[in-house]
Structure 1
Amino acid sequence: MSLDPLRNEEDIKEYVDLRLGPMGEIGDCVANLDGETIGVFGGIPGELVKARIYRYRRRKRSMVTGMVSQVIEPSPHRVEVPCPNFGPCSGCQWQHIDYQHQLELKRGIVSESFSSYCTLEEVNISPTLPAPSQFEYRNHARFTVRFGGQMGFSNRITRRFVRIENCMLMAPEINEVLGGLQDKVSETTNLSVRVGVNTGDRLIQPTLSAPDIPFASGQKWYTEKLKGRIFRVASPSFFQVNTPQSETLIDLVSEYLALTKEQILVDAYAGVGTFASILAPNVKKVFAIEESASAVMDASSALSDVLNIEFLLGKTEKVLADIAEDIDALILDPPRVGCHPDTLKAVIERRPPRVAYVSCDPLSLARDLDILVKGNYRVINVQPVDMFPQTYHVECVVTLGLSGQT
């Protein structure tokens, strides 16, 4: 029997009227429930709503969360939701908010994350750069498989499975796979689909053996094209889910670093080498640091014609300090948890004059920037980039220079 009270006590329903406060860290609005601060999904700051209250336990902790069931006083930024699965699915959080306001809210999330640090009080945060497509932008989907091969997603609060016939965030090529495999993949409980939107290539994992599967599966890697270069991406390797906005990140980093042929560039957390390979023609040499062996193999197979890149397999916090050459420019593109403290220590000790920090988590970004600023760096600009329309997630490209240098 399930231990989740949201599954077992359907007859117990609690509703309350709430005035919604500012946007929280995970796309919910902050609200006051009998003196307790809770998050309410499906709302917009300032609205008066009737919310269903969920009380449950996760990881031995008591949790209280609200979900909007009725809007009493709507925000002028509320729009009609186009997706029939919005809410039960929970993969999107902001389809009910007009897109321009989504961009403003994302800038606000970054600003709020910085507000806890006095070192970041005067930092300039530019308006969020919009995505070229508000839907059909994701090149990667991880489907949950339940009930005889049904494909869908699990709600983040209720944990209920939601069957999906078409996901509005996914590239059309992924929805084609979803339609062809729906009800046919009972041999697995999870299915990963990745597509090269510029190549037409496809990766479906795990291998499917049922006789009525209409697509090849079990591929070890697929290819994608960025800025005219072909990249190989293995199943375990990281690759940005929004291909057009990946090129935007490259443009922003390139513009700020203003690289020259005499310079040494270090690309830390290099992945399959997108930054390193595209920027390599502009510099004398690139050191690309990556701890994933599969990503380094991907990069090496695709970059045989680029002779001035040296890939260093290992953790950035252990490798960066050992590079013998002086570093003229540095790219930091860590995972969501941010940089290891030893990485930041090495940056401060090595003192590269220009640093571009690419982050997908404003909280870990703010923590790391505070350390770098205390280590004699200054933040020149913070540029939010919308990699994930209809969700609360926001990417940032931060430019830093040494204090006292222009």
Structure 2
Amino acid sequence: MSTARPDDQPPELAELTLLDEIGPLGDCLADFEDGRINVFGGIPGERVVARIVRYRRRRKRMVSGLVLEVIEASPHRVPAPCQYFGACTGCQWQHVSYSHQLVLKRGYVERNFSEYPSLSSTNIEPCIPAPSLYGYRNHARYTIRREGSPGFVNRITRRFVQTDECMLMAPGINRLADDLKGRAQETSQLSIRYGINTDDWLIQPRLKSDDIALESGQSHYTEKLLGREFRIASPSFFQVNTEQAERLAELVGETLGLSGRESVADAYAGVGTFAILLAGSAKRIIAIEESAAAIRDAASNASGIENVEFIEGKTEDVFDSMEAHPDVVILDPPRSGCHPTVLEALVRLAPERTVYVSCDPEALARDLDVLVRGGFRIESVRPIDMFPQTHHVETVVLLGCD
């Protein structure tokens, strides 16, 4: 619960110099009192006046800063186009030029790699830009307040921000959210998933009000990637940027350079995106996924493809008991990275090529350190921007093993 100053008291202000480092949430860092604090809305090297917010989170005292005034601006500062920027913290970098966002993302990957001697000399290639800087998200998670309107909660102040639109969302999501405005009082959380290439959608939970004409409570929706239709159930993971998900699949294929003779293990396979799109380039693919809903989706999505087998189970369990040595492994784990047992099994299996797709540079560096010390070598590291205007970055790493 927030313990920030009440509105009738003057805010606590501080003049800060922002350090040349980005924190794990995309905020700048600054020296303050006896330590360092995160400062939202700045750019490294700037001199700013920030509002200091003191609060408790999980019984821990926290201090953060919110930029109110820029005294010495970075040359990379641009006007944030969204009227809610700063009040809503969903975007961290709308005030940063896009070319510099890519530099910061590459730098964040480099910084995490530099923490490990085994990775410190690794070359990080430039970040692949996104074709659409706004309107790219196919999934929105809204908070609903009593009046029934959707919005978001500021992660620092914990205040609710009602929004008429979100500039990151696909126009179809904003249209659906607008249709629900003032009518969704029966729930406190609302998820909208939208097929950018199909105009199909999924709204959860089911809304029973007679005032709502929109279909809701669907079990799944469909989307197309590279011309192939994918069924995606409500609990199943799917990349939030459809355009870049297509580029990511192409990048994984280009990076692996499959000849058609390889056996491939696709770990954390989700709804089968990589396995299905790469099936025509491999001899055989075993796709592993622990989510029962995602496995059902994947089996449906792979209809007509005979060289892909789906195994329902945890990757660590399947890899630990795997006897056949795949030629190629694809890793696309959740943000937390790979289970230690998966890494141990990889060292034992020693595939010729492994592609590791990660959305968290910190977890990626930790896992790569284990693999490199276990005999793998890093052949390429390529960040790709799946999330413009935010600090998040995807990274595709190719590993070899003799």
Q: TM-score, normalised by structure 1?
A: 0.97
Determine helix, strand or coil for the equivalent of 1:177: helix
> 2:257 aligns to what?
258
Determine helix, strand or coil for the equivalent of 1:216: coil
> 2:371 aligns to what?
372
The answer (yes or no) to whether the contact 2:268–2:315 under 8 Å persists in 1 is yes
Deviation of residue 216 (structure 1)? 0.6
> 2:114 aligns to what?
115
Give the direction of change, closer, same or farther, for the CA distance of 1:220–1:175 in structure 2 (3 Å limit).
Answer: same
Deviation of residue 147 (structure 1)? 2.3
Alignment partners' CA distance in 2, 1:325 and 1:51:
58
> 2:161 aligns to what?
162
The answer (yes or no) to whether the contact 2:272–2:301 under 8 Å persists in 1 is no
Q: Which runs of 5+ in 1 are unaligned?
A: none
Determine helix, strand or coil for the equivalent of 1:6: coil
Per-residue deviation, residues 30-83 of structure 1 (Å, max 9, x unmatched) = 101123111101000111000001111110111010010101111111001100
Deviation of residue 210 (structure 1)? 1.0
How is 1:88-99 mapped onto 2 (pairs within 5 angstroms)? 88-99=87-98
Deviation of residue 8 (structure 1)? 4.5
The answer (yes or no) to whether the contact 1:124–1:380 under 8 Å persists in 2 is no
> 1:6 aligns to what?
4
Deviation of residue 10 (structure 1)? 5.0
> 2:293 aligns to what?
294
Determine helix, strand or coil for the equivalent of 1:203: strand
> 1:61 aligns to what?
60
> 2:314 aligns to what?
315
Per-residue deviation, residues 216-257 of structure 1 (Å, max 9, x unmatched) = 111000001111111100000000000111111111111121
How is 1:40-189 mapped onto 2 (pairs within 5 angstroms)? 40-189=39-188
> 2:333 aligns to what?
334
Give the direction of change, closer, same or farther, for the CA distance of 1:72–1:376 in structure 2 (3 Å limit).
Answer: same
The answer (yes or no) to whether the contact 2:18–2:46 under 8 Å persists in 1 is yes
Give the direction of change, closer, same or farther, for the CA distance of 1:10–1:269 in structure 2 (3 Å limit).
Answer: farther
Deviation of residue 263 (structure 1)? 1.2
Give the RMSD, CA atoms, in angstroms.
1.1
> 2:193 aligns to what?
194
Identity, % of aligned positions? 55
Alignment partners' CA distance in 1, 2:333 and 2:2:
34
Q: Which amino acid aligns with 1:77?
A: H
How is 1:174-253 mapped onto 2 (pairs within 5 angstroms)? 174-253=173-252
Per-residue deviation, residues 101-155 of structure 1 (Å, max 9, x unmatched) = 0000000111111111000011110011000000000000000000220210000
Large movers: runs of 4+ above 3 Å: 7-10
Q: Which amino acid aligns with 2:329?
A: L
User: How many aligned positions are there?
Assistant: 401
Determine helix, strand or coil for the equivalent of 1:5: coil
The answer (yes or no) to whether the contact 2:222–2:229 under 8 Å persists in 1 is yes
Alignment partners' CA distance in 2, 1:214 and 1:136:
25
Tell me which moved more, 125-134 or 251-260: 251-260
Q: TM-score, normalised by structure 2?
A: 0.98
The answer (yes or no) to whether the contact 1:23–1:109 under 8 Å persists in 2 is yes
Q: Which amino acid aligns with 2:44?
A: P
Alignment partners' CA distance in 2, 1:250 and 1:188:
36
Alignment partners' CA distance in 2, 1:202 and 1:215:
10
Q: Which amino acid aligns with 2:387?
A: F
Deviation of residue 7 (structure 1)? 6.8
Alignment partners' CA distance in 1, 2:246 and 2:367:
24
Determine helix, strand or coil for the equivalent of 2:22: coil
Tell me which moved more, 382-391 or 246-255: 246-255
> 1:277 aligns to what?
276
> 1:349 aligns to what?
348
The answer (yes or no) to whether the contact 2:5–2:11 under 8 Å persists in 1 is no
Tell me which moved more, 161-170 or 26-35: 26-35
